[in-house]
Amino acid sequence: GFNNIHAINAWDEEDAIVMVAPNVLSAEHTMERMELVHSLVEKVRIDLKTGIVTRQPISTRNLDFAVINPAYMGKKNQYVYAAVGDPMPKISGVVKLDVSNSEHKESIVASRMFGPGCYGGEPSFVAREPENPDADEDDGYVVSYVHDEKAGESKFLVMDAKSPQLDIVAAVRMPRRVPYGFHGLFVKESDLNKL
């Protein structure tokens, strides 16, 4: 039923634990036939009193490698930014999901597809003001490397996380090809200076 590889977030809620994660369908194909893998994002609620586990689909799109604003890790969050598999392991875009909805409906609220022959890696979320506790959860940027297979060109994209189309606010052309990759990490200069 539920094959979780890349959990997105989890938090305590009354007498329950809530987790948001992709459910990897056809998990048996994960290593040798990745193009057959389909991951749909679900919200899983584990009632600690009754032991009842309920699952709610958040999106039926083929999504994985999702991130959130790191300030909300382990806390109830509203927004998730997930990579679109087309098919996996190629990532053709990024979508923004609103996981706060309790209705059973598609929860994509913003989308950025990279275009024909263009594929990216796992997105990262970068808060505009990471030290501001009053900032909106989605006040920041979604960043990813994207490679255009036809032009042979790689770019670093910076997208506005609040905009309905995840508008590109900067596209930095890279001097060399950046290979497709799954797991990324954004590190602030202040963190680097502590090393």
**Cβ-Cβ contacts under 8 Å for 147 (sequence gap 6 or more):** 118, 119, 120, 153, 154, 155, 177, 178, 179, 180
Consult the annotation and say whether 6 binds a ligand: yes
CA atoms within 13 A on the CB side of 89: 13
Give the domain ranges of the chain. 9-193
Tens of pLDDT, residue by residue over 31-53, are 666 677 778 899 999 999 999 99
Residue 143: closest CA among 107, 174, 117, 109 = 174
Position 189, amino acid:
E
How far, in Å, CA of 92 to CA of 35, rounded?
13
pTM higher than 0.85? yes
Q: Which of 54-58, 62-66, 85-89, 140-144 is the most confident on average?
A: 140-144
Residue 92: closest CA among 113, 76, 110 = 113
